[in-house]
Structure 1
């Protein structure tokens, strides 16, 4: 299946927290969007890999994803090295996305920066014909996405552009709340974590409101770029 947009996320729920409004906006326009989670988030304070896979499936349904898969890399211990790059190249060549959305280039959690680097390097390397990969016993053609953008996560990064997600805010919230094991629940018996604080989801809304405010809308999601974006018409800029 060829995708228009592939989101690469270090952990299940990274995509939902960082760019699910953008995902929903593009799905609503008929684009095919998929997510590849690099790990099962097994080192997280709350939940289990099995629970998080079920939560991922529910979030995928809410967002209307065309595809989602989990690479099964080791949470916190995966690296941006040859073995991981080759596995991710297989996936990029499998889906042949025009655009890749990847983790924040730097963030509180070290996996986010590593995930950003791994995704960026794999996207470039995927276009090199002398790197040979196979899928289901068949050789894969080289493929390089046209653009790699990085969503902004916990730490504030000044965005290069912002997507208006106002019409899709409720979908974003619903996709986040699909990961109910991870967020505030007064009846939960599991240990508290950084994101299970009752203040965390209001922070996510505040960040989205801040991004929206900067482009004169209610809610927005910010992204950084790896190379300049070109336009032929100044009126394409909103």
Structure 2
């Protein structure tokens, strides 16, 4: 079984709560999962009147512990909390990371309409990661890294009213880890009430005949119920033309 790499690109530490079961499922398959947060979530008021530098330090530690709970790699970039903008410069910065990690798929924020999911940092970070996948294919944009030209289909956290196919991950086998992560954040920043998490997972699962599920938008692959996002099949769907390895 070929080992796959899933890149999870998010805005703030604790965003990964919405994909915790999916991350655990991919890790349990024996795959590599790299969670990247663009900011340190330093604008939170959860710690009272302390400096942003101290908040950043605390939240870096949170990210490290979250990675240990989920069994994945974690990284931070140095974008500013609440100031993320989807620009060409931002996409090029993240493209160099994509070229380094060489993911087989990217899970990130998508378009959303509900409060919380439509946080401007969430929306901007999703666009940045999605643009970066394309920029990472361009050698001159990511040098000295080698370009990443293998398929890297996009999955996004699913918002209300999404017209895209839904890919449904059965996360019941990973409930203990999901709840452990939720309790960790709930005790420290007041987000991730385990009862709310449980209700959310059940509601997502019910239409698909499951008990607990996380649901994402499939941008380039088929929807349906799966155990893991990878391997992902685009069989029967229109693809993109091959990228030449050198000028022709």
TM-score by shorter chain over 0.5: yes
Alignment match, 1:29: 29
Alignment match, 2:10: 9
2:120 equivalent among 110, 119, 122: 110
CA distance in 2, matches of 1:126, 1:142: 6
Alignment match, 1:221: 214
Shift of 1:28: 0.7
Q: Structure 1's 202 and 156: CA in aligned 2 closer, same or farther, altered over 3 A?
A: farther
Equivalences for residues 154-193 of structure 1 within 5 A: 156-158=160-162, 160-179=166-185, 180-183=187-190
SS of equivalent to 1:171 = helix
CA distance in 1, matches of 2:36, 2:128: 13
Shift of 1:19: 0.5
Shift of 1:18: 1.3
CA distance in 2, matches of 1:60, 1:224: 24
SS of equivalent to 2:13 = coil
Task: Tell me how many residue pairs correspond in the alignment.
Answer: 208
1:128-185 deviation digits (Å, cap 9, x = unpaired): 223243xxxxx11111442110023xx53556111000010111121233323211xx
CA distance in 1, matches of 2:118, 2:169: 23
SS of equivalent to 1:79 = coil
CA distance in 2, matches of 1:59, 1:110: 23
2:92 equivalent among 83, 86, 89: 86
CA distance in 1, matches of 2:122, 2:207: 25
Q: TM-score, normalised by structure 2?
A: 0.77
1:33-57 deviation digits (Å, cap 9, x = unpaired): 1100010001122142111111111
Q: TM-score, normalised by structure 1?
A: 0.80
Q: Structure 1's 41 and 3: CA in aligned 2 closer, same or farther, altered over 3 A?
A: farther
Alignment match, 1:236: none
